[in-house]
Amino acid sequence: MPEAQAVSLKHLEQKKKRTQQEIQRIKQLKHQILLKEKYVTYNILQNQKRLESSKTSMSAQQELLVQTKSQLKDLEASLDILLAQQQRLAQQVGKRLRSLYMGERMSFLHLLLDAGDISTMLDRFYYKKRIFAKDKELYASFITKTQLLEKKKGALIQEKARLAGTIQRIESYQEQLNEAMHLDKMLVEKLKTSREAYEMAENQLERESMTIERQIMSMTSGGGAVLGSTGRFMAPVGGRVTSGFGYRVHPIFRSMRFHSGIDFGVGYGTPIRAADGGRIITAGWQGGYGKVVIINHGSRGGQNLSTLYGHMSSIAVGNGQQVSKGQVVGYVGSTGFSTGAHLHFEVRLNGRPVNPLGFLR
């Protein structure tokens, strides 16, 4: 082999090696970026779920507190009644005992000598015996009610301790809730002001959009018509469209990203209605989309038609549920990668997003 060719071959092999090394470096860098994106976006979503869990727990504890207070109030009322009964009973028994020790009750001999005849003596003895029996009955009742009072007191102490524990748990949940709300606010502000956080969120959303496409196709593979589907869509909310379908430019960062649906600018908690009748195939958390409902509307022209409702504050339906056109499926919120309350609405053909405005009537 000529010397020139050998040098050229060696140069090409070195260049190939450097290229392979660069490809490997880029792959590693891409993997690191992907891990970082997942870490940042995961923290945002986990914080939102933690916030929701805190709210749910707080509500449960507040309900428990109301119940405990009501039970405590009833118990204290019962205790007051029992104390009054005990006081009256103590007065009666005390009066009897005073009479007994002051000599009102006669001995059997005195009773015999004082009586004019045997009949009178027997009558007096009978009635005195009845009085003694009544005293014994009153005393036994006093003991029983006193024991009951002690049990009530014990129950009251336990109830107060349980109430104190409930209040402590509520305060703990309040601290957790306040911390979660603070973190959530910081992360939302980061999405607004940090280009890196915004890009990470958008990249994650694009990956989730493709995941949703595969999910829809796998869950609607049977095709065919779906009960209640008319093929004509209504707007899910009454607000105006604040962001359209397709590529859009970020107002601050000037970067261009694809928007897979349209956004309706409506207030937090606004009811979201099914655009058409169909069957729920997803109702729950879906990454950056937050709380999501996806409805299968069956086949139209050989293609599956479905709608997606994202960033909900709460969901009003469940997986597999049949819904009618106009039925409330959830409420507007700001879950997932969202910087404010709005409804993200998508229409998908065979799982792929298409412009919803072409379907709304």
Write out pLDDT tens, residues 94-109.
676 566 555 544 454 4
Structure tokens at 56: 């749910």
Distance CA 83, CA 149 (A): 8
Distance CA 153, CA 79 (A): 8
Structure tokens at 337: 């990668």
Alpha carbons within 13 A on the beta-carbon side of 203: 17
Q: Tell me: the pLDDT tens digits for 274-318? A: 999 999 999 999 888 889 999 999 888 788 999 999 999 999 999
Given this model, what pLDDT does residue 21 score? 64
Residue bearing the bigger pLDDT, 247 or 46 = 247
Q: Tell me: the pLDDT tens digits for 48-103? A: 777 777 777 777 777 777 887 777 777 777 777 777 777 777 777 667 656 655 55
Q: What are phi and psi of 332, to 5 degrees?
A: -60, 140
Taking residue 326's Cβ as centre, other Cβ atoms within 10 Å add up to 13
- 134 band by pLDDT with thresholds 50, 70 and 90: low
Distance CA 15, CA 56 (A): 61
337 contacts 253 by C-beta, under 8 angstroms: no
Q: Reduce the secondary structure of the chain to three states and give it as a string.
A: CCHHHHHHHHHHHHHHHHHHHHHHHHHHHHHHHHHHHHHHHHHHHHHHHHHHHHHHHHHHHHHHHHHHHHHHHHHHHHHHHHHHHHHHHHHHHHHHHHHHHCCCCCCHHHHHHHCCCHHHHHHHHHHHHHHHHHHHHHHHHHHHHHHHHHHHHHHHHHHHHHHHHHHHHHHHHHHHHHHHHHHHHHHHHHHHHCHHHHHHHHHHHHHHHHHHHHHHHHHCCCCCCCCCCCCCECCCCCCEEEECCEEEECCCCCCEEEECCEEEECCCCCEEECCCCEEEEEEEECHHHCEEEEEEEEEECCEEEEEEEEEEEEECCCCCCEECCCCEEEEEECCCCCCCCEEEEEEEECCEEECHHHCEC
Q: What are phi and psi of 194, to 5 degrees?
A: -100, 120
Can you tell me the mean pLDDT for 231-259?
A: 81
Structure tokens at 19: 């290229």
> Does the pLDDT value for residue 255 go beyond 50?
yes
> Does the pLDDT value for residue 165 go beyond 70?
yes
pTM value > 0.75? no
Alpha-carbon distance values, 203 to 140, 270, 337 (Å): 81, 28, 11
